[in-house]
A and B are shown apart, each in its own frame.
Chain A
Amino acid sequence: MYDALVVALAVFIGVAGHELLGMAMLSRPIVVAPLAGLLLGDIQTGLIVGASLEAIFMGVVNIGISSTAEPSLAAGLATAFAIKMGGNVDVVIPIVFPLAVLGLQLMNMIFSFVCGPMAAKFFSFAKEDNQKGIINLHFFMWFIHYALYALIPFFAVLFGADVVKSVLDNIPKVIMNGLTVAGNLLPAVGMAMLLQMLWSKKIAVWFFSGAVIMAYFNLPLIAIAVIGAIIAIVMAQRDLQLKKMQTAPQANTITAGTRTIDDEEEDFFK
Chain B
Amino acid sequence: MKLGQQISKEEKKLVRKMFWRSMTMYASVNPVTMGGGGFAYSMMPFINHFYKDKNDRAAALERHSQYFSTTIPFASFIMGTAASMEKENSKKPGFDVESINAIKTSLMGPLAGIGDSLFWGVWRVVCAGLAINLAHAGNILAPIIFLIMFNVPNYLVRYYGGILGYSLGSKYIQKLYANGLIEILTKAASVLGLIMVGAMTISMVKFDTILSFSMDGKEILNVQKILDSIFKGIVPLLISLGCFKLLQKKVGVIKIIFGMVILGIVLSLLRIA
* B234-254 interface with A by 8 A CB criterion: 236-237, 239-244, 246-248, 252-254
CB < 8 Å A-B pair total? 425
Residues of A within 8 Å of B121, CB to CB, are: 61
Q: Are A188's CB and B110's CB within 8 A?
A: no
Residue interface mask B225-267, A partner, CB < 8 A = 1: 0000001110011011111101110001110111011111111
Q: Are B198's CB and A179's CB within 8 A?
A: no
Residues of B within 8 Å of A187, CB to CB, are: 31-32, 200, 204-205
Residues of A within 8 Å of B236, CB to CB, are: 185, 188
For the residues of B in contact with A, the DSSP-based class is: helix
Q: How far is the CA of A137 from the CA of B232 in the complex (A)?
A: 37
Q: How far is the CA of A125 from the CA of B254 in the complex (A)?
A: 13
Q: How far is the CA of A246 from the CA of B24 in the complex (A)?
A: 48
In angstroms, how far is the closest chain B Cβ from the Cβ of A265? 8
For the complex, is A76 an interface residue (Cβ under 8 Å from B)? Answer: no
Q: Are A188's CB and B233's CB within 8 A?
A: no
Q: Return the chain B residue nearest A231 by Cβ.
A: B191
Q: Are B28's CB and A115's CB within 8 A?
A: yes
Q: Are A134's CB and B61's CB within 8 A?
A: yes
Q: Are B32's CB and A22's CB within 8 A?
A: no
For the complex, is A240 an interface residue (Cβ under 8 Å from B)? Answer: yes
For the complex, is A91 an interface residue (Cβ under 8 Å from B)? Answer: no
For the complex, is A254 an interface residue (Cβ under 8 Å from B)? Answer: no
Q: Are A22's CB and B66's CB within 8 A?
A: no
Q: Are A131's CB and B27's CB within 8 A?
A: no
For the complex, is B116 an interface residue (Cβ under 8 Å from A)? Answer: yes
Q: Are B190's CB and A203's CB within 8 A?
A: yes
Q: How far is the CA of A58 from the CA of B117 in the complex (A)?
A: 14
Q: How far is the CA of A210 from the CA of B240 in the complex (A)?
A: 14
Q: Chain B interface: which of A25-33, A152-160, A163-171?
A: A25-33
* B174-192 interface with A by 8 A CB criterion: 175-176, 179-181, 184-185, 187-192
In angstroms, how far is the closest chain B Cβ from the Cβ of A129? 4
Residue among B110, B143, B268 making CB contact with A226, cutoff 8 Å: B110
Residue among A116, A120, A142, A226 making CB contact with B261, cutoff 8 Å: A116
A207-B253 contact in complex given A23-B154, A138-B38, C-beta closer than 8 Å: no
Q: How far is the CA of A122 from the CA of B41 in the complex (A)?
A: 10
Q: How far is the CA of A41 from the CA of B192 in the complex (A)?
A: 54
Q: Are B195's CB and A227's CB within 8 A?
A: yes
Q: How far is the CA of A51 from the CA of B141 in the complex (A)?
A: 12
A54-B154 contact in complex given A122-B65, A264-B181, C-beta closer than 8 Å: no
Q: How far is the CA of A44 from the CA of B121 in the complex (A)?
A: 28
For the complex, is A235 an interface residue (Cβ under 8 Å from B)? Answer: yes
Q: Are A47's CB and B138's CB within 8 A?
A: yes
Residues of B within 8 Å of A31, CB to CB, are: 143, 146-147
Residues of B within 8 Å of A28, CB to CB, are: 128, 146
Q: Are A20's CB and B176's CB within 8 A?
A: no
Q: Are A261's CB and B199's CB within 8 A?
A: no
| Interface pairs (26), CB distance under 8 Å | A19-B29, A23-B72, A30-B146, A31-B143, A34-B143, A51-B136, A123-B65, A127-B62, A141-B30, A175-B265, A186-B32, A186-B260, A188-B243, A188-B260, A192-B241, A192-B243, A193-B66, A196-B248, A197-B101, A198-B98, A212-B198, A213-B195, A214-B199, A214-B200, A222-B113, A222-B117
Closest 4 CB pairs of A and B: A210-B198, A182-B264, A222-B113, A178-B265
Contacts A126-B40, A181-B268, A224-B199 supplied; 9 other A-B pairs, CB < 8 Å: A121-B254, A123-B253, A135-B41, A184-B264, A188-B240, A192-B241, A206-B194, A214-B203, A228-B196
